[in-house]
Chains A and B, each alone.
Chain A
Amino acid sequence: MTDLERLDPPAAAAALRATPDGARGFLGVDPVTQNDMAIAGELTRLGAHVFRRGQALLGFVPNSEQPRQATVATTSADPDLMTEFLTFLGSYQRCTSYVAMVPSGSAAESTFNGCGFHRTGTLRGHRYQTGQYQDVHVYFATVGDLCRS
């Protein structure tokens, strides 16, 4: 997993904006309603880390109340890429469990299902987008749940 390129917040904001629609809700930011400076500020406030692998963007935010857990996000629908990223977090961040906040109906749902996450709840009307409130599903996995890639 050496070819993960780490992006600082401004570069991450630009990369998220360049992602065709894949980035709305990524770690809670939204290139449609926030400009790059606002996104960079939010990523910094969250203590988020964003990486690029080819066309895909991957990100995590450590859980300050329980640092062995991280919230993760991806703009790619490829479960294997996410599994590799989680293994990377396991070895470099000593993460033992992962959470993902996935807008209902977004491509990332299949990604997380595909690599061993299971849904543990739904946040009702958590986001507003294109004129409507949409639910956000909560996905969870322990390091043991992850499929062997």
Chain B
Amino acid sequence: MMLRGYRAGDLELLSGTWLSGELLGLPLPNWPVLAEPATVGPPSDETSELCVAPGTGFVRYCDVDWVHRRARLEIGVRREAVDSAELLISAAVAYGFRTLSLRRVYGWVTPATHPPPYLCERAGLQREATIPSAVWFDGRPVPREIWAAVRRD
């Protein structure tokens, strides 16, 4: 899957009905009609890097730390492109390691959103930690997991 640099014309890819900050930003069912969609700001400085897969979604590396060679990864997938989510997350990890030459890519996964379990594993991510009541979701605090891929070199 080809990732390319963000252009102003890609703005509408940056918002959708996924849980904000999530590693696997998949559109969630029964999003309250009056609830704001999650939105991600366009890239504007060195603290984050964002690339786009046209028609599918975006991959975003936030809290990029060049000393520790790590970044927190978020992806956002369009409703029509959910079946490309696996390609997008794998492309995101590969881009982080190969082009940004990061050593570690990690992110939040919220089990209460029922993400497909194999998606992260297939992209080389492993669960490292669980933090109870770490995010408010659908009326209550729910646990959040930290998944990560570490480059073997």
Do A and B belong to a common assembly?
yes
A residues in contact (CB < 8 Å) with B:
30, 33, 63, 65-66, 68-69, 96-97, 99, 120-128, 133, 138, 140, 142
| A-B contact sample (5 more), CB < 8 A, given A66-B134, A97-B133, A122-B129 | A33-B67, A66-B141, A123-B106, A140-B131, A142-B132
Residues of B within 8 A of A65 (CB): 20-21, 134-136
Q: How many pairs of residues, A versus B, come closer than 8 Å at their CB atoms?
A: 65
A66–B135 CB distance below 8 A: yes
Chain B 120-153 interface mask (CB, 8 Å, partner A; 1/0): 0000000111111111100001000010101000
A124–B148 CB distance below 8 A: yes
A68–B132 CB distance below 8 A: no
B148–A123 CB distance below 8 A: yes
Residues of B within 8 A of A128 (CB): 67-69
6 contacts between A and B (CB under 8 A): A66-B133, A120-B130, A120-B132, A121-B146, A133-B103, A142-B132
Q: Is the interface of B mostly helix, strand, loop or mixed?
A: strand
Q: Is the interface of A mostly helix, strand, loop or mixed?
A: strand
With an 8 A cutoff between CB atoms, is B104 at the interface?
A: yes
Q: CA separation between A97 and B148, bound complex, in Å? A: 24
Partner of A121, one of B21, B69, B103, B129: B129
A68–B103 CB distance below 8 A: no
Q: Which residue of A lies closest to B141 (CB)?
A: A66
With an 8 A cutoff between CB atoms, is B70 at the interface?
A: yes
B133–A69 CB distance below 8 A: yes
Q: CA separation between A127 and B69, bound complex, in Å? A: 8
CB within 8 Å for A138 and B129 given contacts A124-B104, A125-B103, A125-B150: yes
